[in-house]
Amino acid sequence: MKITRSVPALAVGAAAMAGTLLTAPPAYAADLHDCWFGGLTSETEEGYYELWGGSCSGFGYANVDVKIRSGTDAGLYHCGHVFPWNGTLEGWRCVVIQP
């Protein structure tokens, strides 16, 4: 095997990987709940909120993202823990990811 042939192939492969990494979406938690409506209740500590949601679907209980699709508090949140029950959701220690 000639090394001169491997070097161009390696360069092409590295460029393809770099392009893929640069266009990757931002990282989110593995678990996600998607709610059609909801809102923030109160700021419990500086920068942390409690939230509620209705007409929700998804999975996960700890370290999850919550997407609220409509209302004044629509956006993407990350919560320390949530309690989903029959399409409703409550979350604690939540921070805003995307308003």
In a domain, 24, yes or no: no
Could you read off the pLDDT tens digit of each residue along the chain, which spans 99 residues?
Answer: 555 556 555 556 556 555 544 444 445 457 999 999 999 988 888 889 999 999 999 999 999 999 999 999 999 999 999 999 999 999 999 999 998
In a domain, 90, yes or no: yes
Q: What is the span of the domain harbouring residue 60?
A: 31-98
Q: For residue range 49-71, what is the model confidence (pLDDT) as tens digits?
A: 999 999 999 999 999 999 999 99
Beta bridge partner(s), residue 90: 52, 83
In a domain, 9, yes or no: no
In a domain, 48, yes or no: yes
Any residues with CB less than 8 A from the CB of 79 and at least 6 apart, and which?
A: 51, 63, 64, 65, 66, 91, 92, 93, 94, 95
Whether the pTM exceeds 0.85: the reply is: no
Any residues with CB less than 8 A from the CB of 48 and at least 6 apart, and which?
A: 93, 94, 95
Q: How many domains does the chain have?
A: 1
* Per-residue model confidence (pLDDT) at position 55: 97
* Per-residue model confidence (pLDDT) at position 11: 59
From the CA atom positions of the chain, what is the Rg in Å? 20
In a domain, 58, yes or no: yes
In a domain, 53, yes or no: yes
